[in-house]
Structure 1
């Protein structure tokens, strides 16, 4: 992989809202977003100890007996444990070789959106057998969401908009945290078995922390697979399909996959940072000539729910006996 294929960008000026460095940082992110759709961020403000605590605590969760994990089996709000075989990308032949624990913005049952039955919004599920999981995961999540807002500030500036252009749509984000456990992949599973099969992310942005095992691969500019190697104290950021639409195709939502051939377990943790359920993604927002829009407006929640229904086994209709 060329050294500059996936650049490392220090976003400290965006975290600090420093106008002296924010524009140049945003320009670097735009170049990467248009070219490959991926970049690493450093200077993000998420303490390394938070990420290490997440990994160690999540490892204890995944080591629990299956009956304990099943007490927080994923629910209709897409919160909880998804076991092996629960995720399958874009009609691939085999389910992904992984398990995950998913959580999101914590909202009480009497929140207006939750009370109205808005999909994917509400309280999280946490296992009684491991009470330390909640603070470890949710504290990390809040810090990563703050870093996501900093990335959005840079992207807004790079598109000629005010730094806070994306703030309102992401005010109550459909931001899902996911702790992911990949077992070692036996070689006899064949070439078409993946930790995560080739796909694009369908939301706004993804911010990913990797352990040092490796395995994330990205389609390079020459269309060959290249390794997104783990770099300590960075996050991998990639553009999702919704941001691709919002920018009228300027930002690239790039295929990627996970192949764990290390011979040992792999861990990662992501925040899939999407706009709020009711936010409307409209490329005309970012165009000087609205007539040039390639995509119609779409509500974020409608888009995400539709994608979930295809990707996750638990959402499949029951098969008649």
Structure 2
């Protein structure tokens, strides 16, 4: 067994100590870029998460032609099959060993994109789940603003409000087959090393399923257990929140956008933490939060952000898209999508 990544666990349901919770959240975002959030069921009901995983399993059981009928488009919505996405194009032999389905916001309880027919009966549950995640996105952004002493404190929250315009916010269902069901070797990856695109990501996983690794500051990649010590008896595993490139860029690199990947756990550095296995297909659910697309990414109005100077040895801790140039949230997202979906964008030329 290998040592797991050291990532703090924070309970953000403590409204009575909001300021301290906000400060703890910011310090974790600065130092680690990843944070475990205790899942008490107060903000996101446990049964809603369980339903979402069951829906994901149903969706990926649909015939391939049915999923391909809903293939991903330039709006980043739809199905991407095995090897369609390449998150680490410089180092991958082939594209990612995964399939994914991206679902955008609903309108009047209905998806604004084609979906496989076998999940149409579950649309109300998907819409409800998305609503819980959207509200949690606003809550976390609110806490980050408070912790950074941004003026006004609701700066981040208001720029993520749906009523202020469309955004790239997306629910993503993911399925990673086991090694024996693919033509891969242990040296291949299920999802290449990358940092996320948006402001924050919320990631939900199933107990016992290995694969996620984060890049530490000094020791290479380390596994991220689904249930860190002390949370084994929680109603549901804590979910992960990680800082995306956009928020790192927006805060002059103060908040850390951490590189991570999903591997076929096995020999070498790709080890499994105690209590987890790679014997079953892996499922996960990500919710990518983005500000309103027209938002100008000028440095946020925080004295701590304005005075921050990245250390000279920051190296891997600084994301590759942090060079300052004013752009909108939509422009930042499109820059990243073009790098990940090479075939989709090359086919248009």
Matches within 5 A, 1:95-134: 95-107=95-107, 123-134=112-123
- Whether 1:155 and 2:147 are equivalent positions in the alignment is no
Q: CA RMSD in A?
A: 2.5
Which residue is 1:248 aligned to? 252
CA distance in structure 2 between the partners assigned to 1:147 and 1:193 by the alignment: 34
Instruction: State whether residues 5 and 214 of structure 2, in contact with CA within 8 Å, keep that contact through their aligned partners in structure 1.
Output: no
Match of 1:238 among 235, 242, 247: 242
Which residue is 1:214 aligned to? 210
Matches within 5 A, 1:31-46: 31-42=27-38, 43=40, 45-46=43-44
- Whether 1:166 and 2:156 are equivalent positions in the alignment is yes
Distance change in 2, residues 1:241/1:3 (3 Å): same
What is the Cα deviation at residue 100 of structure 1? 0.7
Distance change in 2, residues 1:145/1:223 (3 Å): farther
Which residue is 2:220 aligned to? 224
What is the Cα deviation at residue 284 of structure 1? 5.0
Instruction: State whether residues 179 and 185 of structure 2, in contact with CA within 8 Å, keep that contact through their aligned partners in structure 1.
Output: no
Deviations 1:196-215 (Å, cap 9, x if unpaired)? 11111121100000112121
CA distance in structure 1 between the partners assigned to 2:122 and 2:338 by the alignment: 27
Which residue is 1:185 aligned to? 179
Q: Secondary structure, in 3 states, of the residue corresponding to 1:304?
A: helix
In structure 1, the gaps of 5 or more residues are 109-121
Q: Secondary structure, in 3 states, of the residue corresponding to 2:141?
A: helix
Q: Secondary structure, in 3 states, of the residue corresponding to 1:166?
A: helix
What is the Cα deviation at residue 292 of structure 1? 7.2
In structure 2, the gaps of 5 or more residues are 228-235, 266-277, 310-322
Which residue is 2:65 aligned to? 67
Match of 1:56 among 32, 54, 79: 54
Instruction: State whether residues 297 and 326 of structure 2, in contact with CA within 8 Å, keep that contact through their aligned partners in structure 1.
Output: yes
- Displaced runs of 4 or more, over 3 A: 1-4, 287-294
Which residue is 2:198 aligned to? 203
CA distance in structure 2 between the partners assigned to 1:181 and 1:195 by the alignment: 10
CA distance in structure 1 between the partners assigned to 2:307 and 2:31 by the alignment: 25
Deviations 1:275-316 (Å, cap 9, x if unpaired)? 111111111533479697872322000110121112124522
Q: TM-score, normalised by structure 2?
A: 0.79
Which residue is 2:11 aligned to? 10
Q: TM-score, normalised by structure 1?
A: 0.86
